[in-house]
A = this chain, B = another copy of it.
Amino acid sequence: MGDQATPPAPELAAMAINDGPCLKHPFSDRAPVRSIVCRPDGGAGLAGQRVRAGGWVKTGREQGKGSFAFLEVNDGSCPANLQVIVDAGVADLSTLVQTGTCVLVEGLLKVPPEGTKQKIELRVDKVLHVGPTDPASYPIPKTKLSLEFLRDHIHLRPRTNTISAVARIRNALAFATHSFFQEHGFLYVHTPIITTSDCEGAGEMFQATTLISEAEKLDKELILNPPPTEADIEAAKCTVGEKSSVVAQLKAAKATKEDISASVSDLKKAKENLSRVEERAKLKPGIPKKDGKIDYGQDFFGRQAFLTVSGQLQVETYACAVSSVYTFGPTFRAEHSHTSRHLAEFWMVEPEIAFADLQDDMNCAEAYVKYMCQWLLNKCFDDMELMAKLYDKGCIDRLRMVSSTPFERITYTEAVQLLEEAVRGGKEFEKNVEWGIDLASEHERYLTEDIFKKPVIVYNYPKGIKAFYMRLNDDSKTVAAMDILVPKVGELIGGSQREERYEVIQQRIAEMGLPLEPYEWYLDLRRYGTVKHCGFGLGFERMILFATGIDNIRDVIPFPRYPGRADL
């Protein structure tokens, strides 16, 4: 039973025999560039092997008076390119050498002449595919392009060295995240994106709705098929009156059963028509309203729904049942922030642990951050070298330091004392330091970058600046919250032990002027089998900024969304 569309390539079978098992991609007819050049010997040991390789030409040049061409080919599997040499007899070199051209080639791996950077090169004898690129119109030519420029070509920017390296680092951190929590017995829980529970923060939330599109659909329908007029309704009423009289007359005249029942049936039809007309007369163009307000009863979920700002409250329902869980998904803020640190759509990692307190929370968060740093050193060293070269020469040392140094742990009160000391010593901050303030980024970075020169966990914050669900400490002034501050980005993680005492959390909700009703389900977790538990949230893009040293958060997410911009 053959596949007409895709005849099997006869070369493939032969190649599979010649290739080492790790060279051929399992679901593609080529060897990833990584499997050739990312070896301890730079690939030299593969000399003599026949391989098929594909990718996009980074740079190409004709040499020897056009008798052959050198191509630097990259397939995104690693930052290094494969050096490819094609003779003029094999293919049209002028197309091949253009930056952006896609090639699939086959040939023998050879050790290049001494003095070249590469340890291996591919001598091509077959060109199996060419996807040409017109250099005159290609939006991302070989010249150095700014990250800002690349944001206007979001569909092509992963072909650049920086954005592909960021993609590999992001991928590595995502899998490190899953590996860390899975190794430690946490269950991955998919908390909802569309939520009806974060009712108080509606101002900064996106609404998920079908009301507008339904209204637009109705508007169109009403233009094609206008609603009944007053006269139409009157006419329908009139018909009902007439039919009704006929029935009465026939009954009075003791007409035959058949005649009466025919007239009753006519009356019934007239009544049905009237109610249809009256129903359609109620249709109003625009978004449905009730008592002057938007009628969310007619929205898709029968109520107002938003895009989640955090999965924490929902993931707690799982922690209070299966003990150790985490969520890792997209979250949303409709803030009009035009900064290099904010996105309207970003990814968060939020673990939640039952039978655990604030110390456990800090231990977990510290272990997780260290694990990610070590993971990058182990698995993405070449990408990190690129980041060190292009964006932040200290980034590799920073990963080493964080992965190996115990984080400093200080209370909020101690942090404020240290900052006040610094002020007395002449340090100037834009925002005044005093007990009770929410630490600003400048304070956080001073603590981690200047005072301790390593990650700092600040814990036990004043209750006035923290959320209602954080556990009230015995001093009644502070809550069991903690933030992890790291050099370069400041706050990377925020977490807390959750208030597990029913009476206390109920009172905290009231104190903060929040309505109780929307939190009844959350209170149930305390009403029935309450458990000490804690958790934290890590902004995933913040972690990538921290690791790579890249400045703008829009460059570390594949498809950045911010005010005025949502490409693709």
Residues on A facing B (Cβ under 8 Å): 1, 3-6, 8, 25-30, 32, 34, 54-57, 75-77, 100-102, 104, 129, 131-134, 137-139, 154-156, 158-159, 164, 167-168, 170-171, 174-175, 178, 182, 184-185, 187-197, 202-203, 205-213, 216-217, 287, 294, 300-303, 305, 307, 313-314, 317-318, 320-324, 329-330, 332, 334, 344-345, 347, 353-361, 363-364, 367, 409-411, 414, 459-460, 471, 473-475, 478-480, 497, 500, 521-522, 524-525, 527-532, 557-559, 561, 563-568
The 5 nearest A-B residue pairs measured at CB = A76-B322, A158-B321, A131-B530, A102-B529, A192-B559
A134 and B155 alpha carbons, distance in the complex (Å): 57
Q: How far is the CB of A161 from chain B (nearest CB, A)?
A: 11
Cβ-defined contact, B56 with A3, below 8 A: no
Q: How far is the CB of A447 from chain B (nearest CB, A)?
A: 14
Collect the chain B residues with CB atoms within 8 Å of residue A303's CB: 566
Closest beta carbon of chain B to A329's beta carbon, Å? 7
Residues of B within 8 A of A531 (CB): 54, 102, 104, 129, 131
Instruction: Give the distance in Å from the alpha carbon of A479 to the alpha carbon of B3 in the complex.
Output: 11
Known: A193-B330, A294-B212, A355-B28. A568 touches B185 (CB 8 A): no
Closest CB in chain B relative to A343 CB, distance in Å? 11
6 contacts between A and B (CB under 8 A): A1-B411, A5-B358, A167-B187, A174-B188, A190-B558, A207-B213
Can you name the residue of chain B whose Cβ is closest to the Cβ of A192? Answer: B559
Q: How far is the CB of A559 from chain B (nearest CB, A)?
A: 4
Tell me which residues across on chain B come within 8 A of A1, comparing CB atoms. 409-411, 414
Tell me the smallest distance from the CB of A289 to a CB of chain B, in Å.
10
Task: Please tell me if the beta carbons of A300 and B563 are within 8 angstroms of each other in the complex.
Answer: yes
Return chain B residues, CB-CB under 8 Å to A30.
Answer: 355
Q: Is the CB of B353 within 8 A of A192?
A: no
- Give Cα A194 to B216, complex, Å: 20
**Complex: how many Å from CA A167 to CA B187?**
8
User: Does B301 lie within 8 Å of A561, measured CB to CB?
Assistant: yes
Interface-centre pick from A137, A410, A532 (highest chain B CB count, 10 A):
A532
User: In the assembled complex, which residues on chain B have CB atoms less than 8 Å from the CB atom of A500?
Assistant: 131
Which of B28, B194, B197, B566 is close to A561, meaning CB atoms less than 8 Å apart? B194
Q: Which chain B residue shows the least CB distance to A410?
A: B1
Shortest distance between the CB of A49 and any CB in chain B (Å): 18
A196 CA to B345 CA in the complex, in Å? 14
Given A3-B358, A178-B175, A321-B76; A101-B529 close (CB under 8 Å): yes
Known contacts A193-B330, A529-B100, A558-B190; decide if A497 and B5 are in contact (CB<8 Å).
yes
Closest to A518 in B: B568
CA distance A188 to B178 in the complex (A): 12
Q: Which residues of B contact A28 (CB under 8 A)?
A: 323-324, 353-356, 360
* Minimum Cβ distance to chain B for residue A441 (Å): 23
- Whether A521 and B568, one on each chain, are in contact in the complex, defined by CB atoms closer than 8 angstroms, is yes
Cβ of A320: which chain B residues have Cβ within 8 Å of it?
Answer: 159
CA distance A30 to B3 in the complex (A): 57
Closest Cβ of chain B: how far from A274's Cβ, in Å?
28
Report B-chain residues with C-beta under 8 Å of the C-beta of A212: 207, 209, 211-212, 287, 294
Q: Do residues A565 and B411 form an inter-chain contact, with CB atoms below 8 A?
A: no
Q: Contacting A133 at CB < 8 Å: which of B156, B188, B190, B529?
A: B529
Q: Which of B34, B158, B170, B307 contacts A190 (CB 8 A)?
A: B170
Of all chain B residues, which has the CB nearest A560?
B192
Inter-subunit contact A194/B345 (CB<8 Å): yes
A301, B563: Cβ atoms under 8 Å? Answer: yes
Bound Cα distance from A323 to B532, whole angstroms: 46
Q: How far is the CB of A221 from chain B (nearest CB, A)?
A: 13
Instruction: Report which of B100, B360, B410, B460 forms a contact with A4, defined as CB distance below 8 A.
Output: B460
CA of A313 to CA of B155 in the docked complex: distance in angstroms? 10
Residues of B contacting A330 with CB < 8 Å? 190, 193, 329-330
B318 pairs with A558, CB closer than 8 A: yes
Pair A171/B194 contact, Cβ less than 8 Å: no
A101 to B568, CA, bound (A): 50
- Closest approach, in angstroms, between the C-beta of A35 and any C-beta of chain B? 8
CA distance A287 to B294 in the complex (A): 11
A357 to B194, CA, bound (A): 36
The answer to whether B529 touches A302 (Cβ under 8 A) is no
Instruction: From known contacts A4-B478, A475-B4, A531-B54, infer whether A196 and B301 are also in contact, taking CB-CB under 8 Å.
Output: no
The answer for the CA separation of A5 and B498 in the assembled complex, in Å, is: 12
Report the nearest B residue to A502, measured CB to CB: B131
CB distance from A420 to the nearest CB of B (A): 17
| Apart from the given pairs A57-B529, A129-B532, A192-B561, 12 other A-B contacts in the complex at a CB distance below 8 Å | A5-B473, A28-B323, A28-B355, A29-B357, A54-B323, A75-B323, A77-B322, A100-B528, A139-B528, A155-B524, A156-B317, A164-B321
Q: In the complex the two chains form, what is the Cα distance from A175 to B305 in whole Å? A: 30
- Contact present for B314 and A27 (CB under 8 Å): no
Which residues on the B side are within 8 Å of A54 (C-beta)? 323, 354-355, 531
B170 touches A6 (CB 8 A): no
**A156-B524, A203-B213, A566-B303 given; A322·B75 CB < 8 A:** yes
Q: Is A559 touching B314 in the complex (CB atoms < 8 A)?
A: yes
Cβ–Cβ < 8 Å partners of A525 in chain B: 155
Residues of B within 8 A of A354 (CB): 28, 54, 75
